[in-house]
């Protein structure tokens, strides 16, 4: 693996920083550092820095909203891209579609579409994170997933090439998508025209129901497991006696057992130890193998 020389670092005017902690970028607030933190201001800078990293054979990853990221204390010996610039969160209406940058918060996309009189995303209200993160894991609820309304996507490959993926090329299944290139730049959502007042009421109803099923989010929280097809992870955890399970400074909620919390002194090792113990216990008791909701770096 190579490295970026000083001329490259200086040429990008401070958007690349070395040896930066990633813990503040995650909801759990734990983990190590990244060798390079890249915070481009626009798509052109993103492409240029990706191409530089590719040429130097530097591993690359992209941060989303950090709601489902667990970073090991050993950190990431590569370049981490944070797409928090407003340039990556632009939204516009085109007929009955919304074109949205993947850096936008999912909640902002839902509000924008409802305000534009376009329905089809309201049931996703309350799901944290960015649009890009929601697309990559095909976020959804019992009322449907985000993949059902995706018409096309604009992606950036690991060698810095922009590609368009449309229609039949897209594949979405239960909490999985085929959008596996380095960066999701933007996506086009085909939605249904509707009356704004009715869509707003529908959004509010989904929000009330969602809030009744989750704790008031303190800092340092994350969802532990994906709901298996046909099951609720929280119910499996409750039935198996793992509500309130603890490992060091990490615990599962007693009332909402699929929510994991960390406190001072927590480590990624504690998180992984707890989740593996719980997974094995649930499988022994129910025969269902839970999959981690957390992405492990």
| Residues acting as catalytic residues | 175
Distance CA 143, CA 149 (A): 13
Pairing of strands 76-82, 60-63: parallel
Residue 98 and residue 109 in contact, taking contact as beta carbons nearer than 8 Å: yes
Distance CA 149, CA 134 (A): 12
Q: 123, exposed or middle or buried, with CB in 10 Å at 0-12, 13-18, 19+?
A: buried
Smallest CA-to-CA distance from 186 within 62, 83, 102 is with 102
Secondary element (H or E) of residue 91: strand 91-94
The first and second tokens of residue 99, run together, are: 């074109």
Strands 259-262 and 250-252: antiparallel
Cα-Cα-Cα-Cα dihedral of 25, 26, 31, 36, to 10°?
A: -30
CA dihedral over 35, 47, 170, 206, signed as positive or negative: positive
What DSSP designation does 225 have?
B
CB 74 within 8 A of CB 20: no
């Amino acid at each position: 693996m190579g490295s970026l020389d000083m001329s490259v670092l200086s040429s990008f005017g401070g958007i690349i920083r070395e040896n930066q902690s990633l813990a503040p970028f995650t909801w759990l607030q734990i983990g190590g550092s990244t060798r390079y933190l890249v915070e481009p201001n626009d798509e052109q800078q993103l492409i240029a820095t990706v191409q530089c990293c590719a040429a130097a054979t530097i591993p690359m990853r992209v941060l989303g909203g950090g709601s489902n990221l667990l970073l090991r204390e050993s950190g990431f010996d590569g370049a981490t891209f944070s797409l928090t610039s407003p340039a990556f969160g632009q939204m516009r209406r085109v007929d009955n579609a919304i074109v949205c940058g993947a850096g936008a918060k999912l909640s902002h996309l839902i509000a924008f579409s409802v305000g534009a009189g376009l329905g089809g995303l309201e049931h996703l209200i309350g799901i944290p994170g960015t649009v890009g993160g929601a697309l990559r894991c095909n976020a959804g609820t019992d009322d449907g997933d985000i993949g059902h309304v995706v018409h096309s996507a604009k992606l950036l490959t690991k060698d810095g090439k922009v590609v368009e993926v449309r229609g039949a090329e897209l594949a979405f299944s239960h909490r999985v998508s085929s959008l596996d290139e380095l960066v999701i730049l933007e996506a086009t959502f085909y939605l249904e025209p509707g009356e704004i007042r009715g869509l707003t009421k529908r959004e509010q109803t989904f929000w009330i129901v969602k809030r009744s099923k989750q704790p008031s989010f303190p800092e340092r929280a994350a969802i532990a497991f994906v709901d298996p097809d046909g099951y609720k992870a929280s119910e499996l955890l409750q039935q198996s006696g793992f509500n309130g399970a603890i490992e060091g400074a990490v615990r599962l909620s007693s009332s909402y057992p699929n929510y994991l919390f960390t406190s001072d002194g927590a480590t990624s090792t504690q998180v992984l130890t707890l989740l593996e113990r719980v997974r094995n216990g649930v499988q022994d008791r129910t025969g269902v193998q839970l999959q981690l909701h957390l992405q492990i770096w």
